[in-house]
Amino acid sequence: MTECSQETFAFTAHFLRRVEAGFTAGRISSDGGAILLREADRKIGLLRRLEGCFVDRRHPKRIVHRVREMLAQRIFGIAMGYEDLDDHEQLRTDPLVALLSGKSDLEEDLAGKSTLNRLELVGRSERYHKIDYSAEAIDRLLVDLYLQSHPQPPEEVVLDLDATDIPLYGHQPERFFHGYYDSYCYLPLYIFAGDQLLGVRLRPSNQDASAGSLTEVSRIVEQLRTRWPGVRIVLRADSGFCREEIMAWCEANQVDYLFGLARNERLCRTIQGSMEQARRLHESSGKPARFFTEFAYRTLSSWSRERRVVAKAEYLERGENPRFVVTSLSTEEWPAQNLYEKLYCARGDMENRIKEQLHLFADRLSTAQMASNQLRLYFSALAYTLVEALRRLGLRGTDWAEAQVDTLRIKLFKIGTLVRVSVRRVFLSMSSAYPWKSLFTHVFRVLRC
């Protein structure tokens, strides 16, 4: 790009006044509100503990950028909306980012894209690669952060499982075409408990949607029960996870489940009477009509036993719309309609949580190693965990308690801020025209208490 040395810019006049601009205001950052993320991190200890998940084999006397600083750069950067390493080439002189990253001298440059690239390209044997991470340690950290967020053990934990597609446009490893998504993609698995993320695993797309999920669920359940031995755990997922292996494991380990069940001719015949009732009600009222029923069901060969199936016999303007779920939960505790409408349908909110992962650039998986792409997926997950902590701790009870990350980024983090550094203090002089000062003040007070 051609370097421009122009210092003053003359724009169209405003009535009788000239309109001029210049980059002369000093060390101003556009992300002053992200200082609240630093306070959220102080509350939950994410970055301090994440540093322990990495092994740094660099010579101590030659280290300019500590691992914790680089991790903070990436995770805070993702939360603020900076999606890749090229952005950090421009951000390395931003004093606010230096403050967030824990740099002792805010006048020093931060790590650039080449240094951060060496952090991310793990699993290589070349002599310049000196930093590695433990996936097992990061997996444990995500669950530990969930556990510590509860002062008292809950009576019940509902684990939501889902897979999503990450389209691929290059020649990444384990690249396969997926017929359902009609693209080359990865198929990562996400596990949430409410809004909190407990696990994420990168997977190729040439396998079943449930592949590997039992491994992830079993380690999470073990970690939860080690801390909360009496907690009840329920798995909830769509029909892609309705597999004999998973249901049998749940039954053997006192874990309840609620899974969607793909329709077939036998199931549809079983609810034929209820569907006929729904059709007649629809024709007489002109409105959608539904009836709920339940029955014991076993597949012809794949299931080892009969299980409780709840059916929704629904008739819409376009015709029949049958839906089925299979569960270990009892009729006494969860009658058919409540089970479907209140418990199963609540899993739909998980789609919003996965959408937030994409707002945090979980689809930027363009490296040539699966381990490196898994690390990038972790970075997005950890940035989400940080934003979720800010939302849960600082915004609870406000109109923004359920605001998604892209909204928080624009309205809470993007504050023009002049950074003044002296011997005794760092002062962030924020825009006096910022329209949500009262909300910022509220979040600050909650996080600092």
**pLDDT tens digits, one per residue of 395-435:** 999 999 999 999 999 999 999 999 999 889 999 999 999 99
pLDDT for 89: 92
Residue 253 has pLDDT above 60, yes or no: yes
State the Cα–Cα distance between residues 407 and 11, nearest whole angstrom: 31
Lowest mean pLDDT among 31-35, 134-138, 166-170: 166-170
Q: Which residue has the higher pLDDT, 348 or 386?
A: 386
Percent of the chain exceeding pLDDT 90 equals 88
Return mean pLDDT, the chain. Answer: 94
Under 8 Å CB-to-CB from 100, ≥6 apart: which residues? 34, 35, 37, 38, 72, 76
For 54-59, the CB contacts below 8 A with 24+ separation are: 54/131, 54/132, 54/133, 54/134, 55/131, 55/132, 55/133, 55/134, 56/130, 56/131, 57/130, 57/131, 57/132, 58/130, 58/131
Q: Under CATH, which architecture does the 153-359 domain have?
A: Alpha-Beta Complex (3.90)
Q: At what angle do helices 67-80 and 370-394 cross, to 10 degrees?
A: 70
Task: Give pLDDT tens digits for 141-150.
Answer: 999 999 999 9
Q: What is the largest CA-CA distance in the chain?
A: 84
Q: Are 221 and 231 in contact (CB under 8 A)?
A: no
pLDDT for 423: 87
For 246-255, the CB contacts below 8 A with 24+ separation are: 246/210, 246/213, 246/214, 246/217, 247/303, 247/307, 247/326, 247/328, 248/304, 249/214, 249/217, 249/218, 250/328, 251/328, 253/218, 253/221, 255/217, 255/221
pLDDT for 5: 62
Under 8 Å CB-to-CB from 50, ≥6 apart: which residues? 68, 71, 75, 138, 141, 382
Task: Give pLDDT tens digits for 268-278.
Answer: 999 999 999 99
Residue 4 has pLDDT above 60, yes or no: no
Lowest mean pLDDT among 1-10, 21-30, 151-160, 211-220: 1-10
State the Cα–Cα distance between residues 110 and 103, nearest whole angstrom: 8
pLDDT for 27: 86
Average pLDDT over residues 115-120: 91
pLDDT for 126: 66
Residue 142 burial class via C-beta count within 10 angstroms: exposed 0-12, middle 13-18, buried 19 and up: buried
Cβ count within 10 A of residue 351: 11
pLDDT band per the 50, 70, 90 thresholds, residue 3: low
pLDDT band per the 50, 70, 90 thresholds, residue 122: confident
Residue 49 has pLDDT above 80, yes or no: yes
Domain spans, the chain: 9-135+360-448, 153-359
pLDDT for 315: 95
Average pLDDT over residues 165-190: 93
pLDDT for 125: 64
